[in-house]
């Protein structure tokens, strides 16, 4: 596995960790370790939430047909539906992340970023299907190396308040490459061509980059 170009504790969490450490230290200094114990527990929570470990990239062969999980979590939806971003019928696979999962988001395919859309919205439980259309979200259109069109949508959750997507049109992503982060509970929806073969089931635990969730049809799309 190549050297991981990101810190094991995500940069997105550095301000939260600093604040948590200062508060815990001040409480312990002023009131003692017993009063400070809950604050040190919160420090531990911040550390585990913002962890960002390196991962092996899953998939087969040259990767042209492999779709890997964009996030850690559980599969909560596999269904044919409308992809409102590309105005097409598509196969949606959704991964729900709870607060104990790694929240770093990674590209499901090798491809080029064609467009990014941000939509403000609500913050209902991300495990619910209506979160895909009602919650704050950031969608990214990727065109795969084999011509496949994929939409990857970061969706805010019940307590999530910040979706981070660092990509712009024209940028290239490798399968498993980190492209964003969602703070505090969320989901990622992946919209795939209808002839894609899904390799996971509802309820399966998946890991970003490592878990193969689908394979494109062997005849590339034009």
CATH number, domain of 139, equals 2.70.70.10
Tokens of 202: 């509802």
Asked if the structure places residue 147 within a domain, the reply is yes
Helix (H, G, I), strand (E, B) or coil at 42: helix
pLDDT of residue 222: 43
The catalytic residue positions are 186
pLDDT of residue 123: 59
- Total domains in the chain come to 2
pLDDT of residue 41: 95
Residues 19 and 129 in one domain: no
Residues 43 and 124 in one domain: no
pLDDT of residue 126: 53
How many residues are listed for the chain in this entry? 222
CA–CA dist 120, 161 (Å, integer): 11
Q: Which domain holds residue 155?
A: 66-215
Segments of the chain scoring below 70 in pLDDT: 1-3, 60-63, 121-134, 157-161, 185, 219-222
């Amino acid at each position: 596995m190549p050297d991981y170009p990101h810190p094991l504790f995500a940069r997105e969490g550095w301000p939260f960790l600093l604040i948590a450490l200062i508060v815990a230290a001040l409480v312990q200094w002023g009131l003692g370790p017993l009063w400070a114990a809950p604050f040190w527990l919160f420090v531990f929570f911040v550390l585990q939430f913002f962890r960002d470990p390196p991962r092996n990239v899953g998939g087969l062969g040259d990767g042209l047909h492999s779709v890997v999980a964009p996030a850690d979590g559980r599969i909560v939806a596999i269904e044919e539906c409308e992809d409102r971003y590309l105005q097409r019928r598509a196969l949606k696979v959704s991964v729900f992340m709870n607060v104990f999962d790694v929240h770093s988001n990674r590209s499901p395919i090798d491809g080029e970023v064609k467009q990014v859309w941000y939509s403000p919205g609500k913050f209902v439980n991300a495990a619910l299907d209506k979160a895909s259309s009602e919650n704050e979200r950031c969608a990214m259109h990727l065109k795969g190396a084999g011509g496949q069109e994929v939409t990857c949508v970061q969706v805010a959750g019940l307590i999530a308040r910040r979706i981070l997507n660092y990509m712009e049109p024209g940028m290239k992503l490798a399968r498993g490459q980190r492209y964003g982060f969602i703070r505090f509970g969320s989901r990622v929806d992946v919209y795939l061509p209808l002839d894609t073969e899904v390799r996971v089931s509802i309820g399966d635990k998946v890991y970003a980059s490592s878990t193969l969730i689908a394979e494109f049809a062997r005849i590339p799309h034009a």
